Amino acid sequence: MPYKITIRQRNNARRLGYTIKPSEKKHKKIDVYTKDGKTKVASIGAMGYNDFSIYIRTKGLKYAKTRKALYLQRHQHEPKRKADGTPTASLFSDEILWA
């Protein structure tokens, strides 16, 4: 079953200048594309794990904010940009799934 993308996540992607679609990879949630939707730049979010939107819906905002802080702390050492300045999947996860 494909992941259901929320309006919040679509707006987060739009704010970054990208579009998103449910992932074609069965173990990922979302594929991130350039603004025109033609070039895929990353696949983010492992299936089977919750994200900010899921936590808000199932456990409430307070709990979701706690999980977000823990996620960001756990992934703080991952590079957010490649050497050429392009964003990494980690940045997209932070800014789309956890913002």
Q: Show the tokens assigned to 31.
A: 């594929």
pLDDT tens-place string over residues 56-90: 999 999 999 999 999 999 999 999 999 999 999 99
The per-residue pLDDT for 2 is 83
Q: Which pTM does this prediction carry?
A: 0.93
Q: CA–CA separation, 58 vs 67, rounded Å?
A: 12
Q: What is the 3-state secondary structure (H, E, C) of the chain?
A: CCCCCCHHHHHHHHHHCEEEEECCCCCEEEEEEECCCCCEEEEEEECCCCCHHHHHHHHCHHHHHHHHHHHHHHCCCCCCECCCCCECHHHHHHHHHCC
- One-letter amino acid for residue 32 of the chain: V
Task: List the chain domain ranges.
Answer: 7-97
